[in-house]
Amino acid sequence: MRSSARPYVAGALILWAVALQAHVWSIPDAELRRLRGDSRVSFVPSARGIRRVQKARDEAASDDESAFVVTRKVASDPRSALTEADVAAQSAIVSALRARWPTVKIVGEEDENDDAAPMSPKRGAPLREDLCAAIETCDDARLRTMRVKSEDVTVFIDPVDGTREFVESRLRAVQCLIGIAVRGRAVAGAIGLPFPDGDVASSEACVVYGAVAPGAKRGAVGAHGERGAALEIRFDAENAQVRSVTGDSKNAALIAAKEILRETATKSGATYAHGSIGGAGNKLLAVAEGRAEYALMHFGTSLWDTCAPEAIVRACGGKVTDLYGAPLMHYEDSPGGLVNQLGVVGSSAACEGAISHDAVCSEMRGNEDLKKMLNRFTGGDSSLAFGGDEIQASDVARCLGGGPLSARDVGDRVARAVGAEGDVSLSGYSAPERDAVRGLMSDACRIYFKWSTDDDGRLPRSAFYKKVDMGNLEYMRTKQVTQPLKIARDSKSYAVEASFLASDACKALEEAGIGVPICYAADLRPVHDDPIESKFSLLLEDFHPSDGWEQAKMLRPDQAKCALRALARMHAFFLPGSRFRKSSKAANEDLLATVWSSGGYWQPNMQPDDQMDVVASAWEQHMSSFGAAIEAEPTIDIAVARTVGARLQSHARRIGAETHPFSGCPGADDALRHGGERLAALQTVIHGDPKSGNIFERRAGESDEWEIGLIDFQWTGIGLGGTDVGHFMCASVAPEGLSADGAAENALVDVYYDAFCEAAAEFGAVSSKENAGEELLTREELQVQYENGVLDTMRCVFGYQWLRVKASPESLAKNAQSIGRNSYNKSLPNALWMIRTADLYLKAREARAH
């Protein structure tokens, strides 16, 4: 077992570095020499050291003969003197950190220099805890209670940021940076300002520090020492509403980025001004402190330049990303090296109105100069012919490490997965914005391929890319506070989907002609003891419209039949008695380890506990919201309808247990025992979320036949086929496939049953189709399972989903055009069907009980 014994670094963790830094600045020279054990060291680390270098320089310049003698080396070569200060500072900082936190990873600008190696860890300087105090008193409970493990922490140190500025005597821009990243995210930082007023004489060094919980909109900030006069930036227009700062680089991408910002601002009616200042930390600090709205940096600033200031900008309510809008990743082993290879844009909290950070980044993604900067990943010009000339979702088309997907890597994987032979390779790809989705819980886009050779038709023209990085999504971070259990559940659901799609079982399913997407590549990085930090990505076969695939808002009867046949074949394929399950113990165990031990997101164990007990009271609300519509509906008797809530509630627990007998929910064991061997023989794998939004269809021949593609296996797990069928009927079928007396639904269940029996024989679970009823499942038994599935879905809809949004004919009408929503969330006839059918199936259940 990993873990519980491992040291957790408290919220306070965040502080030491910061604190340390402030401390280092006040260590007396003698003490430092002692620490360093080297009397030759003539410069005190960090701020103090830098200040001494400058002082010596000042004195030399004043022509004082004795001072000149002492500091000649300094005066003649501030750069080498500074390097020495740099090195000594880093060594002192690292030593103090190591003394307290022996295992955290530390990355410093001077790592290459042997003299920067830490001293004996026992001899680290004591730490100040200013930031700890700021965190303890801040408003954000997440930050106050944050706990991280020391092995997840990386500290980035730049003892002197702004070397050039120092050499050129632009002293305000000189900074000392210590940033703390947790799992690659900048969460805390301290910026030391040795010359807040631009010279040695008029002010003491000071430190600005801040910390912010991942996903929080604000954090704790503070300063140690006199902040001094604000750094002056000369903007080229006074009183502009949008002020940006950059360096004076001639970098084409940076010039393009500046122009985009100017255009976006002026288009929205704001006045724009630009100023140049040195130092990475300095630019971002200007944004944090509200002296500029935007900071732009070119490609290649170092991670130690941005870690501390990013945390402070975020703590002040601002935002920092790369130029394309993806988060910066501060890892000690970042694949792209220790640099921000795609630039940096920081914005202040003040921007989130008209000229929002996201809007600016979206413009960046459409800019030709900036797209060119990604050519080495995307394959560049070769992508132009097929969507590369459009705005790109270049923030979504990223691997889990944060870098852009690489054409070579993607090409190799796809070619291998489809068995394309010879030396075919991907010369380029595009990821157009029009096909991209940035969801609350995941991101997705289409990747269009340009292959090096005309293939024999096996190489796909596109693929579907889905990326789940919950820890970087604000919605998920909030949900973690309000509904922590759901985060663990959601995270597991992505792991289930990714591992199911990548499994041999899924491949076998696909080979058996059941429409599931081919998985070209899957990257799974689950974190079991901190689920929100899990990451997943999937590159899947694309059910693309140009190949004839469509998605319906709701399935017409002919489509519903085909979808039910596909589900039936999947259910039959995974029956315990099937060839697949019996043929190999290993394959069977793999399958069971991959999917949920009980499938279906609406099962009682995955829903709030009180859901079972609120159906009756929720029903009052639904009756008043839908009252007029029910009165106008001749097939529903309002007096009878009123009784449905209480009746459903009285059966809800039993129905839950019978519908999900393998879930271990209350009563499930009884249901299992009661069902005996016959029930055990039906313990198959169900889809778990068979809504029309998860079903693709394309015409097969002239008739009403459709080929079906199933997607979204997040809730796939062990269950009864009838459970999927019941949910499907509630969620997916268009009104013309449903009826007032249940006849149309039963005809659909007949279709399912026929396909199920046939497939059970085909896949070896029964001796013949004709014997399926006797050996496995009768039509009557299926009917009970199916009706349970419907009623169980209704408990979740009436007791939770409708309740949450106060569902009414008006609220449904608003969702009418949605593809993703369930039919009861977007169509009044379907909602009325639910109300009427609840009564019908409850009556059947009540009759069976007698």
Ligand X SMILES: *[C@@H]1O[C@H](CO)[C@@H](O)[C@H](O)[C@H]1NC(C)=O
Closest distance of CB 83 from ligand X, Å: 58
836 interacts with ligand X by CB under 6 A = no
Nearest to ligand X of 183, 821 (CB atom): 821
Query: Using CB under 6 A, which of the segments 347-355, 415-423, 553-561, 797-805 binds ligand X?
Result: 797-805
Instruction: Give 320's DSSP letter.
Output: E
Return the number of the residue (219 or 799) whose C-beta is nearest ligand X. Answer: 799
Q: 188, 131 in Cβ contact below 8 A?
A: yes
Residue whose CB is less far from ligand X, 48 or 691: 691
Q: Note the helical H segments in 137-200.
A: 141-144, 163-167
Element (H, E) at 207: strand 206-211
Kindly state the smallest distance separating residue 545's Cβ from ligand X, in Å.
22
Instruction: Candidates 79-87, 533-541, 602-610, 798-806: pick the segment binding ligand X (CB under 6 A).
Output: 798-806
- 3-class SS of residue 771: coil
Q: For ligand X, give the closer residue by CB, 14 or 796.
A: 796
Q: How many residues of this chain bind ligand X (CB under 6 A)?
A: 7
Hey, which residues between 15 and 44 contact ligand X (CB under 6 A)? none
Closest CB 801 distance from ligand X, rounded Å? 4
- Complex with ligand X: residue 246 or 732, whichever CB lies closer: 732
| Nearest CA among 39, 811, 680 for reference residue 31 | 39
822 binds ligand X per the rule CB under 6 A: yes
Question: In the complex, what is the shortest distance from the CB of residue 831 to ligand X, in angstroms, rounded to a whole number?
Answer: 11
Find the binding residues for ligand X in span 556-615 (CB under 6 A). Answer: none
Alpha-carbon span 399 to 443, nearest angstrom: 12
Distance (Å, rounded) from C-alpha 478 to C-alpha 487? 10
Interacting stretch for ligand X, rule CB under 6 A, among 23-31, 464-472, 517-525, 817-825?
817-825
Q: Give the shortest CB-466-to-ligand X separation in angstroms.
A: 17
Residues 743-782: x/- map of binding to ligand X (CB under 6 A)? Answer: ----------------------------------------
- The rounded distance, in Å, linking the Cα atoms of 33 and 72 is 21
Concatenated DSSP letters of 414-467 = HHHHTT--SS--EEEEE-BGGG-EE-SS-EEEEEEEEESS--SS-S-SEEEEEE
305 is in an annotated binding site: yes
Residue 795 makes contact with ligand X by CB under 6 A: no
H/E stretch holding 676 reads: helix 668-680
Q: Using CB under 6 A, which of the segments 133-141, 237-245, 534-542, 819-827 binds ligand X?
A: 819-827
Q: Which of 276, 621, 746, 801 binds ligand X (CB under 6 A)?
A: 801
Piece in contact with ligand X (CB under 6 A), picked from 154-162, 272-280, 598-606, 821-829: 821-829
Which one, 452 or 801, has the nearer CB to ligand X?
801
Instruction: Tell me the C-alpha to C-alpha distance, in Å, between residue 390 and each of 161, 291, 396.
Output: 38, 35, 15
- Compose the 665-694 pattern: x for residues touching ligand X by CB under 6 A, - for all others: --------------------------x---
The residue from 659, 825, 830, 837 that contacts ligand X (CB under 6 A) is 825
282 or 716: CB nearest ligand X: 716
Kindly tell me which residue out of 61, 640, 805, 816 binds ligand X, with binding defined by CB under 6 A. Answer: 805
Backbone angles phi, psi at 292, to 5 degrees: -150, 155
**153 and 212 Cβ atoms separated by less than 8 Å:** no
Euclidean distance between CA atoms 261 and 494, whole angstroms: 37
Distance in angstroms (rounded) separating the CA atoms of residues 43 and 215? 40
- Quick one: which of 365, 467, 622, 821 contacts ligand X (CB under 6 A)? 821
For the record, the structure tokens of 459 come out as: 């190489």
Stretch of 13-21, 560-568, 662-670, 799-807 lying at the interface with ligand X (CB under 6 A) = 799-807
Residue 804 in contact with ligand X, rule: CB under 6 A: yes
Report strand pairing: 242-246 vs 272-276.
parallel
Nearer to ligand X among residue 289 and residue 490 (C-beta): 490
Q: Residue 460's closest CA among 471, 473, 449?
A: 449
Task: Round to whole Å and give the CA distance between 794 and 184.
Answer: 43
With DSSP H G I counted as helix, E B as strand and the rest as coil, what are the percentages for the chain, rounded to 5?
A: 50, 15, 35
- Name the closest residue to ligand X (Cβ): 821
For the bound state, the minimum distance from the C-beta of residue 800 to ligand X, rounded and expressed in Å, comes to 7
Residue 197 in marked binding region:
no
CB of residue 304 vs ligand X: minimum separation in angstroms?
A: 43
Least distance CB 804 / ligand X (angstroms) = 5
Asked if residue 109 belongs to a known ligand binding site, the reply is: yes
> Residue 274 or 821: which CB sits closer to ligand X?
821
Distance of CA 112 to the CA centre of its chain: 34
- Comparison of 683 and 811: residue with beta carbon closer to ligand X: 811
Residue 753, C-beta contacts closer than 8 angstroms, at least 6 positions apart: 568, 779, 782
**C-beta of residue 572 within 8 angstroms of C-beta of residue 756:** yes
In this complex, which beta carbon is closest to ligand X, that of residue 301 or of residue 825?
825
Contacts of 112 (CB under 8 A, 6+ apart): none
Residue identified by tokens 């009540």 is: 846
Dihedrals φ, ψ of 481, to 5°?
A: -80, -45
Residue range at the interface with ligand X (CB under 6 A); choices 336-344, 471-479, 820-828, 834-842: 820-828
- Residue number with CB closer to ligand X (266 or 818): 818
Distance CA 18, CA 145 (A): 18
SS3 783: helix
The annotation status of 670 as a binding-site residue, yes or no, is no
Q: Minimum Å distance from CB 103 to ligand X?
A: 42
Which helix (H) or strand (E) segment is 536 a member of? strand 535-541
Scanning the structure block, which residue is given the tokens 């010596």? 56
Query: What DSSP character marks residue 404?
Result: B
Tokens 């949900």 found at: 479
* HSE value, Cβ hemisphere, 13 Å, CA-based, for 365: 27
Q: CB of residue 691 vs ligand X: minimum separation in angstroms?
A: 6
- Residue 452 in contact with ligand X, rule: CB under 6 A: no
Strands 535-541 and 462-469: what pairing? antiparallel
Q: Residues comprising the binding site for Mg(2+)?
A: 109, 158, 161, 305
Query: Under the rule (CB under 6 A), what is the footprint of ligand X?
Result: 691, 801, 804-805, 821-822, 825
Q: Which residues are documented as binding site?
A: 109, 158, 161, 305
